[in-house]
């Protein structure tokens, strides 16, 4: 599974970081970034949850 954050859409709410800090970090500019492109299997469920719960639908999972 691959993941990315669209920083044009991210509102910096931090829901993703709260749900999966192993994959998402908040940048100083206030936007989230995925620190890995390829999500480890152990974190796939948390990343899918973040995708669903992101208020601005900024998370892309493929």
Query: What does the binding site for ligand SF4 look like in residue numbers (CB under 6 A)?
Result: 5, 10-16, 32, 54-56, 58-59
Count other Cβ atoms within 10 Å, centred on residue 50.
25
**Minimum CB distance to ligand SF4 smaller for 40 or for 57:** 57
Find the shortest distance in angstroms from Cβ 40 to ligand SF4.
18
Query: What DSSP state is assigned to residue 2?
Result: B
- 8 Å CB contact between 31 and 58: no
Find the shortest distance in angstroms from Cβ 22 to ligand SF4.
14
Nearest to 41 by CA among 18, 56, 23: 23
Find the shortest distance in angstroms from Cβ 55 to ligand SF4.
6
């Amino acid at each position: 599974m691959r993941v990315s954050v669209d920083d044009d859409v991210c509102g910096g709410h931090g829901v993703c970081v709260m749900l999966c800090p192993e994959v998402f970090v908040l940048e100083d500019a206030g936007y989230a970034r995925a620190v890995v492109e390829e999500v480890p299997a152990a974190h796939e469920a948390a990343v899918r949850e973040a995708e669903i719960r992101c208020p601005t639908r900024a998370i892309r999972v493929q």
